C-alpha cells in the first residue's frame, strides 16, 4: 500500500509543480517546494495548498510526518492506519512559524462595503486575549469591533486611524511569543540642574533696572492708539486658537445625507393634534406593579403609542405604503422604527412585526434596542427596513416640532413633552396633562384627509386605551 501511494505522489508531483510555477506569486517558492515535496513526499496532491504574498503558506490538507514540525498544526482524519508515521493535518492561520496572526476587518453587513478606522483600543506592545477588541470601525450605520484572533501581544498596526477599510483588510499583527512592552520612566536626575536658569535671571535683573533710567522713550508708543480709531468699525473676531476642527464621523455624514435627500425628495407636510394623557397615565399608575411582576419590565408610554400607531396604520394602509417609481407598494405588515438619540447620532432600530406583539413584548423590544443603541452594539439587520417611525422628542423637553421623514418611509409620528395645560372638559376648565402630536407625511402619496384620520385614530386610542381591547 505504501509503495502504491509513493508512486502516485511521484507521478503527479511534476505536473502539479508546473501548475504552481505558472502563478507569479508562488514562483519564488517553486524550487523549495520541489525538493520539499519530491524528496520527502509530504504533500498529498489530492488536496490543495495555498500561498500568499507574505512569504507564508497554509496547508488545507497534506501528509505531514508526526514530529516536531507538526506541533503547531491541527490534526484531521488520516488516510493511513494508526501505525503509519504519516498523519493528515491542516493549518488555520498562514504565518512563517505559526506564531503571528492577522487581525482583519470582519464582515460588516450586506449593505455595508467599507468603513473608517475610527480609533485603536490598544497600542503596539499591549497584551490582548482571544476575541478582545483591538480597534473600532465606524460605518454609515453602526460601529464594529476588530478583534484579536488569538491571545498574544500586538506587534504592529498595518492600518492607520482615519483609513477607509473593507472586510478582510489587515489591521494589526498579533504575536503569540512576543513579550509585552514595558513602560520606562525617565529618571529625574536633571531636575536640580534646571534651577540654575533663575540665578542667571537674577544676575541680569540689576542691568534691566538700570535701563529705564537711561532710556525714557515712552512717547514712541504713542502710535498705539491709532488702531483704536478703526476698531469700532472692524468686527472683533475670536482668535483661531479658540476653535477646533474635527473630522465629521461617518454616521453623522450618513444622517446629514439622508435628511437632505428626504427634504429634496418628499413633498413633506405636517399636521398637528393634541392628546389628553389622563387616562393612559392613570392606566400606568394602576397596573405598573402588576405589570412588572408578571412581565419583568416597566410599562411605558411608547408601547401604547406603538399599539396606537399599528391601529392607525391598519385603518389607513396608505400611511404604511411607499412610492417605488411609478408604483405604490402596500405593506401588509408593520415594522415600527423607534428613533433613539445616542452620543454618536440618531439611530432608528426596528421593532419587527409590531402588529403581532402585545404591550409586554413591545416594551421588552424597545428596552433591548435602546440598550444596544446606547452601547453602540446595534447590528445592521436591527436597523434595516421599517415601515413607520416614531420619534419621542418629549424625553428631551421638546414642546412641539416638525419631524423629518425617515426614507424610504412615507410618514413619521413626533411625540412631545407632557405639560399641564388648562382645557375645557364637559364645560369646565381643568388642568390636564396634554401632549402635542405631529405627523409629517409625504403629500405625493398621502392626502390630508388620510393623515388627519390617522392622527385622530392615535388620539382616540391614547385617550381611551380600552378601544384597543374592543377593537373600535
- Per-residue pLDDT tens digits for 262-319: 889 999 999 999 999 999 999 999 999 999 999 999 999 999 999 999 999 999 999 9
CATH number of 251-470: 3.30.559.10
Instruction: Enter the DSSP assignment of 343.
Output: T
Q: Which helix (H) or strand (E) holds 3?
A: helix 2-21
Give mean pLDDT, residues 369-391: 88
Q: Which of 99, 443, 460, 464 is catalytic?
A: 443
Give the neighbor-by-neighbor strand order of the sheet with 62-65.
62-65, 86-90, 74-75
- Res 35: pLDDT: 40
Over residues 66-79, the pLDDT tens digits come to 444 433 333 344 44
Q: Which part of the chain is CATH 2.40.50.100?
A: 100-175
Q: Which residue has the higher pLDDT, 4 or 461?
A: 461
Flag whether pLDDT at 88 surpasses 50.
Answer: no
From 52, 289, 381, 447, the catalytic residue: 447
Supply 387's cell numbers: 415601515
Half-sphere CA count of 118, side-chain side, radius 13 A: 20
Does this model's pTM top 0.75? My answer is no
The 10s digit of each residue's pLDDT in 196-248 is: 454 444 444 444 444 445 555 555 555 555 544 445 566 677 777 788 888 88
CA distances from 267 to 389, 450, 455, 466 (A): 17, 15, 18, 35
Query: Reduced to 3 states, what is the DSSP secondary structure of residue 125?
Result: coil
Separation CA 74–CA 333 (nearest Å): 49
Alpha-helical segments (H) within 157-272: 196-214, 226-230, 250-265
**Count, residues in the chain:** 472
Task: Mention every residue, 6+ apart, whose C-beta is less than 8 A from residue 26.
Answer: 20, 51
pLDDT at 185 over 60: no
Q: What is the CATH code of the structural domain delimited by 100-175? A: 2.40.50.100
Question: Which residue(s) pair with 424 in the sheet?
Answer: 429
8 Å CB contact between 152 and 98: no
What whole-number distance in Å separates Cα of residue 115 and Cα of residue 162?
9
Position 282 scores a pLDDT of 94
The answer to whether residue 25 is catalytic is no
Whether 447 is catalytic: yes
CATH 3.30.559.10 maps onto the chain at: 251-470
The CA distance from 148 to 350, in Å, is 31
Residue 20: is its pLDDT beyond 70? no
Amino acid at each position: 500500500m505504501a509503495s502504491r501511494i509513493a508512486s502516485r505522489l511521484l507521478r503527479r508531483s511534476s505536473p502539479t509543480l508546473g501548475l504552481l510555477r505558472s502563478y507569479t506569486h508562488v514562483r519564488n517558492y517553486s524550487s523549495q517546494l520541489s525538493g520539499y515535496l519530491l524528496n520527502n513526499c509530504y504533500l498529498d496532491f489530492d488536496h490543495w495548498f495555498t500561498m500568499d504574498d507574505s512569504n507564508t503558506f497554509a496547508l488545507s490538507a497534506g501528509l505531514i510526518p508526526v514530529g516536531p514540525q507538526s506541533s503547531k498544526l491541527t490534526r484531521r482524519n488520516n488516510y493511513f492506519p494508526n501505525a503509519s508515521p504519516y498523519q493528515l493535518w491542516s493549518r488555520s492561520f498562514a504565518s512563517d512559524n505559526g506564531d503571528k496572526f492577522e487581525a482583519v476587518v470582519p464582515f460588516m453587513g450586506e449593505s455595508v462595503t467599507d468603513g473608517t478606522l475610527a480609533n485603536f483600543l490598544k497600542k503596539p506592545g499591549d497584551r490582548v486575549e482571544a476575541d478582545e477588541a483591538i480597534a473600532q470601525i465606524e460605518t454609515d450605520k453602526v460601529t464594529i469591533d476588530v478583534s484579536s484572533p488569538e491571545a498574544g501581544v500586538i506587534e504592529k498596526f498595518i492600518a492607520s486611524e482615519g483609513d477607509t477599510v473593507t472586510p478582510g483588510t489587515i489591521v494589526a499583527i498579533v504575536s503569540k511569543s512576543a513579550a509585552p512592552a514595558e513602560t520606562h520612566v525617565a529618571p529625574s536626575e536633571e531636575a536640580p540642574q534646571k534651577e540654575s536658569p533663575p540665578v542667571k535671571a537674577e544676575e541680569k535683573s540689576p542691568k534691566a533696572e538700570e535701563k529705564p533710567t537711561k532710556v525714557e522713550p515712552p512717547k514712541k508708543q504713542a502710535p498705539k492708539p491709532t488702531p483704536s480709531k478703526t476698531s469700532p468699525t472692524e468686527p472683533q473676531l475670536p482668535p483661531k486658537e479658540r476653535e477646533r476642527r474635527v473630522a465629521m464621523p461617518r454616521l453623522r455624514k450618513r444622517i446629514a445625507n439622508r435628511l437632505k435627500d428626504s427634504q429634496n425628495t418628499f413633498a413633506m407636510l405636517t399636521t398637528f393634534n393634541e392628546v389628553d394623557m389622563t387616562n393612559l397615565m392613570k392606566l400606568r399608575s394602576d397596573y405598573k406593579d402588576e405589570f412588572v411582576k408578571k412581565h419583568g419590565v416597566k410599562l411605558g408610554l411608547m408601547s401604547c403609542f406603538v399599539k396606537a400607531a399599528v391601529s392607525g396604520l391598519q385603518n389607513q394602509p396608505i400611511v404604511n405604503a411607499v412610492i417605488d417609481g411609478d408604483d405604490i407598494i402596500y405593506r401588509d405588515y408593520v415594522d415600527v422604527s423607534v428613533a433613539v438619540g445616542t452620543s454618536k447620532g440618531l439611530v432608528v432600530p426596528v421593532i419587527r412585526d409590531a402588529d403581532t406583539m402585545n404591550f409586554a413584548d413591545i416594551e421588552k423590544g424597545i428596552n433591548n434596542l435602546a440598550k444596544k443603541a446606547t452601547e453602540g452594539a446595534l447590528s445592521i439587520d436591527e436597523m434595516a427596513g421599517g415601515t413607520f417611525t416614531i420619534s419621542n422628542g418629549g424625553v428631551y423637553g421638546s414642546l412641539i416640532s416638525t419631524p423629518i421623514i425617515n426614507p424610504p418611509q412615507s410618514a413619521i409620528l413626533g411625540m412631545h413633552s407632557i405639560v399641564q395645560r388648562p382645557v375645557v372638559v364637559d364645560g369646565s376648565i381643568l388642568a390636564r396633562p396634554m401632549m402635542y402630536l405631529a405627523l409629517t407625511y409625504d403629500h405625493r402619496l398621502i392626502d390630508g384627509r388620510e393623515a388627519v384620520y390617522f392622527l385622530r385614530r392615535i388620539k382616540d386610542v391614547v385617550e381611551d386605551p380600552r378601544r384597543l381591547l374592543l377593537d373600535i
